[in-house]
Amino acid sequence: MTGNYDLSTGSVVSFAGCVYALMIKSGMALLPAGIVAVVVGILIGVINGTMVAKFNFPPFIATLCMMYISRGVALILANGATIRDNMPPEIGNLASRDFLGLPIFVVFIIIALLIFVFIEKKTLLGKYALAIGGNKNAAFFSGINTAAIIFAIYVIIGGLAGFAGVMSASRLSAGDPRGMVGFEFDVILAIILGGTSLSGGKGSVIGTFFGALVVACLGNGLDMLNILTFWQSILKGIIFVLAIVLNEKVMKNISKKTVAAARA
Amino acid sequence: MNRIRKNPIFIIVSFFLLINVFFIITAGDSFFQLDNYFYVLKQTAMIIIVASAARFL
């Protein structure tokens, strides 16, 4: 929405998952291990945010660097192999839990959507992010601390990627330093499919939710039709291109209508 | 009506429903089950959680 992006999310999820698995393996309880993994994600978010917001690095370069660094550190921590041997069975407790008849992961989705719809509609962070995406200079000169807002968003994403790492390790009952490849592109695809403009200024959380569901349903349905994952990957790429074209077209239409309405 | 049709959320929800109808017809009953939808949501949970925040960027 502010016109920035984060390419390091997949590696951070994998890195945090490895940290979580190592902590559990060393005998730490689930909650403190989860907190350590989330803190690791937050720290990477702080580095990303500092590079982009404070030192004005292009987000593509800054987050690409962190993508490689996180992946490298995860591989070093795990000695290049999946952390699975002698793993206590409690690591899978989170993924197998239910709450009011719903799988706990579904509950996490509902909570995340409620929080982010609230942030989008009711808080200054959501409104300022929208303003920065619309016109960064105008937002800056109207008194918005653009650097602080962008920094805060990178930190939030880092923390959530850390939490996603905990979820991933719990699902696999292992820490996989080579996992989550392409995760960042699934995230970007979900965001674009949901109608968020690549150049910033437009978008909604509910749209992103449906965008992610479309990607997942496609994968699930094609699996059921016994279509090879190689073909699924090609199809995903085609949808990515179509989504970008459609996104730009719809956004141009909306902008034209807004300008025409303002002139009238 | 025209305004609704050009709404990105309307477009993506329509696309989502269309995909579901297609897979219900082609993949059969196994696709259209609550357990399968929970499975899809469990698989996507990490993407949804990170994407909800990443869209503010």
Summarised one tens digit per residue, pLDDT across range A140-151 is: 888 888 899 999
Asked if residue A59 and residue A29 are part of one domain, the reply reads yes
Task: Point out the domain boundary residue: A155, A181, A207.
Answer: A181
More confident call, A39 vs B52: A39
Q: Which of A94, A128, A210, A235 to mutate to test the interface with B (most CBs of B within 10 A)?
A: A210
Task: Point out the domain boundary residue: A181, A215, A247.
Answer: A181
**Which of the residue ranges A85-99, A115-129, A193-207 would you say has the lowest mean pLDDT?**
A193-207
| Helices A9-25/A183-193 angle, 10° precision | 130
Asked if residue A165 and residue A144 are part of one domain, the reply reads yes
- C-alpha distance from B18 to closest chain A C-alpha (Å): 10
| pLDDT score for A228 | 84
Asked if residue A120 and residue A84 are part of one domain, the reply reads yes
Asked if residue A199 and residue A161 are part of one domain, the reply reads no
| pLDDT score for A167 | 92
Q: Which two tokens stand for residue A236?
A: 């995903």
> Which residues form the domain of A129?
1-181
**Which of the residue ranges A82-91, A105-114, A164-173 would you say has the lowest mean pLDDT?**
A82-91
Q: Does B2 touch chain A (CB under 8 A)?
A: no
Asked if residue A73 and residue A147 are part of one domain, the reply reads yes
A166 pLDDT band, cuts 50/70/90, is very high
What is the SS3 assignment for A42-82?
HHHHHHHHHHHHHCCCCHHHHHHHHHHHHHHHHHHHCCCCC
Give the whole-angstrom CA distance, residue A17 versus residue A13. Answer: 6
- State chain B's maximal CA–CA distance in angstroms: 39
Q: Which two tokens stand for residue A157?
A: 């994403």
Asked if residue A141 and residue A186 are part of one domain, the reply reads no
Query: Could you tell me if residue A99 is left (phi over 0), alpha (psi between -120 and 50 degrees) or otherwise beta?
Result: beta
| pLDDT score for A200 | 63
Using CB atoms within 10 Å of the CB of residue A115, give its burial: 0 to 12 exposed, 13 to 18 middle, 19+ buried. middle
| Helices A183-193/B34-54 angle, 10° precision | 90
Asked if residue A127 and residue A20 are part of one domain, the reply reads yes
Task: Point out the domain boundary residue: A151, A181, A211.
Answer: A181
Q: Does B10 touch chain A (CB under 8 A)?
A: no
- C-alpha distance from A85 to closest chain B C-alpha (Å): 24
Task: Note whether ipTM > 0.85 here.
Answer: yes
Which among A53, A57, A125 has a CA at the least distance from the CA of B56? A125
CA distances from A144 to A128, A130, A131, A141 (A): 7, 11, 9, 7
On whether the CB atoms of residues B41 and A106 are closer than 8 A, the answer is: yes
Q: Does B17 touch chain A (CB under 8 A)?
A: no
Give the whole-angstrom CA distance, residue A187 versus residue A17. Answer: 18
B19 pLDDT above the threshold of 90: no
Asked if residue A141 and residue A121 are part of one domain, the reply reads yes
Asked if residue A204 and residue A156 are part of one domain, the reply reads no
On whether the CB atoms of residues A131 and A144 are closer than 8 A, the answer is: yes
Which among A52, A76, A77 has a CA at the least distance from the CA of A65? A52
Q: Which two tokens stand for residue A217?
A: 């349903």
b/e A205-235 (16+ beta carbons within 10 angstroms → b): bbbbbbbbbbbbbbbbbbeeeeeeeeeeeee
Q: Does A261 touch chain B (CB under 8 A)?
A: no
A73 pLDDT band, cuts 50/70/90, is very high
Mean pLDDT of the A76-92 span: 86
Between chains, do B45 and A167 touch, taking CB under 8 Å as contact?
yes
B3 pLDDT above the threshold of 70: no
Asked if residue A137 and residue A64 are part of one domain, the reply reads yes
pLDDT in tens, A198-241: 666 677 888 889 888 988 888 888 888 888 888 888 888 888 88
- C-alpha distance from A125 to closest chain B C-alpha (Å): 9
Domain count, chain A: 2
Determine the 3-state secondary structure of B57 from DSSP: coil
Instruction: List chain B residues with CB under 8 Å of A9.
Output: 50, 54
| pLDDT score for A16 | 94
Mean pLDDT of the A245-249 span: 75
Asked if residue A222 and residue A164 are part of one domain, the reply reads no
Asked if residue A223 and residue A135 are part of one domain, the reply reads no
Between chains, do A157 and B27 touch, taking CB under 8 Å as contact?
no
- C-alpha distance from B28 to closest chain A C-alpha (Å): 9
